[in-house]
Chains A and B, each alone.
Chain A
């Protein structure tokens, strides 16, 4: 794909300390329009913390977050959401007692800057895209897990984001649900939205991400085209393990470097 010359989102040496522990350590990243970037790493590597820093839920200890040419480093979450960065939560956070339609409308009204009536139209459009339209009048709390994950996706889409961070939207889904989700994420990226996929499911990362960033102990352990990263000895040692590397090599037919 052709990359724009200036990144949509750029992290400059971003760190976050929790009482002396560096949860995110000196992370620098550039994200370009329309690309899908995988963010992987072991549990506790700082993936979700990084998302929280970008979306303003946690404040950055040092470093800078640049979105669209302007710093959003110490902006409040709602300001960042309004400016065009959407995220989903690992543990889904619907407005439980509101209907599916109202949930998605919320995204369209505030971050999407729409009036109530236009927000409803936009919400229906997003629900059709995520195949939830037939459930629109159901309370969000009554949805099954796969549909709740899709609801998070629909809600974020209604926000008209330019960057969308998906924090484990596929965890707990079955195989065919994952295939469906992969298709959806691809077509979202095709509209020019930059997507960050945080996943433990390597199958999803390899299917979606052109580029992958590996976090380990809060720092970037490896970064580059996904298939190269998968063969990086450091990554295999820290996260993937030799068994996976073997399997990946067999399926992709490329030689695997042995960890030292």
Chain B
């Protein structure tokens, strides 16, 4: 592991940020705790997706499969009387197993084929959740035991739980960024043939990354399930979310430590703004903004350097990087 000053500063900054976030829980009212919880949840999902989508460069559109599997695994366990924290652990384990089973066939595919395969998993799982009524309660939904305590206490508890998970995802990302494993993922993103030629066990690395993403996604889903205490298929396997997560990471910068955070926060702000001012047109306008941003800023906010900005100001069109050239920045 190579730890230079820039990396140490980034970690210190991240730790400080999370410490502030945890400290804020003492003073925030319930509304802001809700917003903070959602934000932490999205950032955890973004960090999870960033491992497969960013570092490894595979366009996985199954983040919500992991999330939903975790939500249902945790929810079913809790409904069966398992304690909350144990249910979350079970969900993480189920997420790992599911990612392994899904990854082994799908990771033999590449590009569009892989993307379509992953997105199909969301649809399939939603149908399973809809129809396997004995287990999931079907379209009627699944009720979970409600977390005991006053609304403020409950809000604070889930805020801290989500924040803790986001912090874990952040730390895992920092490790991936600096270790042999993450270095191998970056090689795989560049050229799989060359990667195996330098001795990287490409398939094992790909499955490993997929499982890591799956565990984090499923754990997020389980905490979400306990928080809302009610699950239905169209909520747990939300197709829009499975697209939104990659978009957030692209906004912030793929394959970077802070890209998922910046992308998640800016996307939520953008979304709130559009919701507030264009209630009837929000989806369309948000979509346009997303396309525009990806078109003009394919490397994400963190992919920009001052040099790029100056180049862009006075430059011809040809200097604009192609979408395929999404470069790893120094986050």
> Residues of A with Cβ closer than 8 Å to B?
55, 57, 76-78, 81-82, 86-87, 89, 93-98, 102, 105-107, 109-112, 115-117, 120, 155, 159
Contacts and interface: CB of A to CB of B under 8 A. Distances in A.
Given A93-B193, A109-B180, A117-B2, A82 B199 contact: yes
Given A97-B328, A109-B180, A120-B2, A77 B187 contact: no
Given A93-B193, A115-B180, 19 more contacts: A76-B201, A78-B199, A78-B201, A78-B202, A81-B196, A81-B197, A82-B199, A87-B197, A94-B191, A95-B187, A95-B190, A98-B186, A106-B184, A109-B180, A110-B199, A110-B200, A115-B1, A116-B179, A116-B183
B327 interface: yes
B198 A107 contact: yes
Given A106-B183, A106-B187, A116-B183, A95 B194 contact: yes
Interface of B: 1-2, 178-180, 183-184, 186-187, 190-191, 193-202, 325, 327-328
Contacts of A77: 196-197
19 contacts: A55-B197, A81-B196, A87-B197, A89-B194, A95-B186, A96-B191, A98-B186, A98-B190, A98-B328, A106-B198, A109-B184, A110-B180, A115-B1, A115-B180, A116-B178, A117-B1, A117-B2, A155-B198, A159-B199
Given A106-B187, A116-B178, A93 B197 contact: yes
Contacts of B190: 94-98
Nearest to A116: B2
A99 to B, nearest CB: 10
Give chain B's interface secondary structure class: helix
Contacts of B183: 102, 105-106, 109, 116
B198 A111 contact: yes
A145 to B, nearest CB: 17
Contacts of A109: 180, 183-184, 198
Q: What are the 7 tightest A-B residue pairs by CB atom distance, in nearest-first order?
A: A111-B199, A110-B199, A95-B190, A81-B199, A93-B194, A82-B199, A77-B196
A94 B197 CA distance: 11
Contacts of B200: 78, 106, 110
The CB with the most chain A CB atoms within 10 A, among B195, B202, B325, is that of B195
Contacts, number: 81
A82 B327 CA distance: 28
Contacts of A106: 183-184, 187, 195, 198, 200
Contact of B198 (A76, A116, A159): A159
Contacts of A155: 198
A95 B194 CA distance: 8
Nearest to A56: B196
A57 B187 CA distance: 18
Contacts of A57: 193
A94 B198 contact: no
Given A97-B328, A106-B183, A120-B2, A78 B196 contact: yes
Contacts of B196: 76-78, 81
B144 to A, nearest CB: 44
Nearest to A82: B199
B16 to A, nearest CB: 26
Contacts of A111: 198-199
A110 B179 CA distance: 12
Nearest to A108: B198
Nearest to A92: B194
A102 B190 CA distance: 12
Nearest to B204: A78
A116 B179 CA distance: 7
B2 A95 contact: no
The CB with the most chain A CB atoms within 10 A, among B1, B196, B328, is that of B196
A240 B198 CA distance: 34
A109 B186 CA distance: 13
Contacts of A93: 191, 193-194, 197
The CB with the most chain B CB atoms within 10 A, among A55, A76, A93, A155, is that of A93
A200 to B, nearest CB: 22
A95 B186 CA distance: 9
A78 B188 CA distance: 13
B232 to A, nearest CB: 43
A201 B201 CA distance: 35
A96 B202 CA distance: 18
Contacts of B327: 97
A131 to B, nearest CB: 21
